[in-house]
Amino acid sequence: MNRAFASFLVLVGFLVLVLGGCASQAEKPEVAEGPATGPTGSYGADTAGVQRESYADRPWDDPSSPLYRKVIYFDYDSSEIRSEFVPVLQTHAGYLASHPRTRVTLEGHTDERGSREYNLALGDERAQTVQRFFLAEGVRSDQLTTLSFGEEKPAAPEHGEGAWSQNRRVELAY
Amino acid sequence: MQRVTVPLLMLLVAWVGQTQAQLTIEVTGGVEGAQPIAVVPFGAAEGAIPPLDVGSVIAADLARSGRFRPMPTRDMLATPHTAAEVDLRDWRLLGMQHLAVGNVSPVGGGFNIDYVLLDVFSGDQLLGSSAKTTGPGMRYTAHRIADVIYEKLTGQPGVFSTRIAYVTDQGSGGRVTLRVSDADGYGAQTIVSSSEPIMSPAWSPDGQHLAYVSFENRRAAIYVQDLGSGRRDLVASHPGINGSPAFSPDGRLLAMTLSKGGNPDIYVLDVASRELRQVTDHLGIDTEPAWSPDGASIVFTSNRGGSPQVYKVSAAGGPAERVTFENDYNAAPAFSPDGRSLALVTRVNGQFRIGLLKLGGGGSMRIMSSGTLDESPSFAPNGSMIIYATQHNGRGVLAATSVDGRVSQRLSQDSGEVREPAWSPLVH
């Protein structure tokens, strides 16, 4: 990490303190009860299309920031962090360690092969592996939440190794 | 008969219009060795306008089982509705072994259905009974009569009056819906619908409740919903995953997978007292619990040996014993109702298929499906069929295969994916 970037991070940290992590607030789902058609859950996490003049308060959305890379990929039926992704995670760990009020959700995903509940567990293992890495790098546990979607939310919907390799992943959701 | 036909057709059209997105069943494989049977379209007494032909529903049920080959109506030489009207020679001539006839008559605000089952060669009356029903209840009653006929002729309970729970997905941001339909795909009802994933429907043994996993609060939680009232309870919402609900055979306990301890393990929740007990404790993944029919043990998937395999543990906890040794991926076990076999997901030459493993005999696994991404096996409550999820033309559909390998079916929706079938228990 170079000097200019370090001072940039200090500035970002200040802004994060001021703005108080409002970006990670989740909207409450609507849950209704009733026969047959029953409850529905709606969730609005869609932040795409929101124009920002500056990324100062969310450097992870800045394409020129090393924090912009927020997805790491896994081998089939494995929750081991591949060596090529260690620097990516170290960059995020360094940022989180120096910004203790910034919180991130580690979302584990799998490809579609095999059984769904096993994949839900595998996604959980992947998220927990990244969590353990961050804790070892000095991130505080209250900054981290793990979440598994198993194979339920593929990044690529096709059937084949091309799509599968993109779906075996942990996403960092700030 | 003309008098009945016109309003019957109109009512059928109205019925189809009301049930959108129903499952369509196609028989995709073999009816070799199926018994010939004639089910004559049921008669209607003066004043009775039944909403459907009970005989057609029964014939379709028997055909789908693969054990019977009902005679096409157009080939019938006569259409008797009572035993007295039957001339056995007509049916012997056509090579029928059995004949079912019946008649619908008005009673009170509803209907009475009289039916008989005859042995064509001996002339013996094997069944002679009647059932009271209503217009809306007539399809269910027809399935019940088919159950009784099936049991009389095969010695095994029929499952035509059971239901199937399944998840549908409209894809790319569309809604995910948990539905329940009759075993023949009719009458699909929405149980819960969400923009977030819904997974793993599991029936209570009384057929009145479904447990399932919903991500509607953006994280996995387990709900138990009363199908009659729609009322539901949130029963597990711990940090980490809350998955794989499975009711014990007495319905009092709910096995599940929780990762609140740092990794996925099997737990058992007492549904009434909400007391939670941990059953497995291992560093690897333990998930997909399934109760043995006697409730004494639980099988589950674990990667403790390096790859996913099926293990067995006492429901009270203790050491786990490995059950599967063939193939390098075995998961999602489901007990057959007699407790003697497991259906599971297995990988053969890189393809995920449904396997059937006889327990305790050291026998080899039978491969029951031919897809590449088959999953979620569930037994019919009489043990005759296994329903599972597969792909057809790149789309998620359901398939069912008879355990004897004689018949296979595909169940699909006109649009979207269908997955995670769970066959209901027998409830009468």
Residue to test with chain B: of A118, A126, A144, most B Cβ within 10 A:
A118
pLDDT of residue B322: 96
Question: Per-residue pLDDT for B348 more than 70?
Answer: yes
- Residue A55 has a pLDDT of 87
Q: For residue B419, give the chain A residue with the closest CA.
A: A116
Predicted pLDDT at B10: 38
Closest CA of chain B from A114, distance in Å = 6
Q: Minimal Cα–Cα distance from B214 to chain A, Å? A: 9
Q: Quote the pLDDT of residue B360.
A: 84
What count of other Cβ atoms lies within 10 Å of the Cβ of residue B124? 9
List, edge to edge, every strand of the sheet that includes B163-169.
A40-41, B189-194, B176-182, B163-169, B417-423
Model confidence at B4: pLDDT above 60:
no
pLDDT at B255: 98
CB B194 within 8 A of CB B176: yes
B64/B98: higher pLDDT: B98
Mean pLDDT of B44-62: 94
Residue B31 confidence (pLDDT): 64
Question: Residue A6 above 60 pLDDT?
Answer: no
Under 8 Å CB-to-CB from B293, ≥6 apart: which residues? B249, B335, B337, B338, B339
* Residue in B180, B200, B216 to test binding to A, most A beta-carbons within 10 Å: B216
Q: Which of A78-82, B215-219, B308-312 has the lowest mean pLDDT?
A: B215-219
Task: Give the Cβ contact number of residue B116 at 10 Å.
Answer: 21
Is 60 exceeded by the pLDDT of residue A70?
yes
A125 touches chain B (CB under 8 A): yes
Structure confidence at residue B414 (pLDDT): 83
Is A122 near chain B, with CB under 8 Å?
Answer: yes
Residue A26: pLDDT band (50, 70, 90) is: very low
**Distance from C-alpha of B146 to C-alpha of B158, rounded to nearest angstrom:** 7
Closest CB to A146 among B194, B240, B394: B240
Query: What pLDDT is attached to residue A20?
Result: 39
**Poorest-confidence range of A5-14, B179-188, B312-321?**
A5-14
Q: How far is CA B110 from CA B51, B105, B248, in A?
A: 11, 9, 38
Helix (H) or strand (E) holding A172: strand A169-173
DSSP line for B68-86: EEEPPGGG-S----SGGG-
Average per-residue pLDDT in chain B?
92
Task: Give the one of A29, A77, A120 whose C-beta lies nearest to B241's C-beta.
Answer: A120
Q: Which residues of B touch A33 (CB under 8 A)?
A: 230-232
Q: pLDDT for B228-246, tens place per residue?
A: 999 999 999 999 999 999 9
**A36-45, B51-60, B203-212: range with lowest mean pLDDT:** A36-45
pLDDT of residue B6: 37
Q: What's the pLDDT tens digit per position in B106-155?
A: 998 899 999 999 999 999 999 999 999 999 999 999 999 999 999 999 99
Would you say residue A37 has pLDDT above 50?
no
Residue B30: the pLDDT is 63
* Position B156 confidence tier, pLDDT thresholds 50, 70, 90: very high
Of A35, A43, A118, the CB nearest to B230: A35
Least confident of A7-21, A129-143, B38-52, B249-263: A7-21
Amino acid B11: pLDDT? 38
The answer, yes or no, to whether residue B428 has pLDDT greater than 80, is no
Q: What is the mean pLDDT of residues B359-368?
A: 86
Mean pLDDT, all residues of chain A: 80
Q: What is the pLDDT of residue B20?
A: 54
Average the pLDDT over B101-105 and give the result. Answer: 97
Q: Which residues pair with A169 in a beta bridge?
A: A73, A109
Q: Residue A35 above 80 pLDDT?
A: no
Tell me if ipTM is over 0.95: no
pLDDT exceeds 80 at position B15: no
Contacts of B216 in chain A (CB under 8 A): 29, 31, 39-43
Q: How confident is the model at residue A98 (pLDDT cuts 50, 70, 90)?
A: very high
**Res A49: pLDDT:** 53
Residue A45, chain B, CB below 8 Å: the answer is: yes
Interface-testing mutation among A31, A47, A78, A117, with chain B (most B C-beta atoms within 10 A): A117
B240·A34 Cβ contact <8 A: no
Residues of chain A with Cβ-Cβ distance to B288 below 8 Å are 115, 117-118
Query: Could you tell me the two tokens for A161?
Result: 């190794």
Higher pLDDT among residues B409 and B99, named by residue:
B99
Q: Is A5 exposed, middle or buried (0-12, 13-18, 19+ CB in 10 A)?
A: middle
Which pLDDT score is estimated for A22?
A: 38
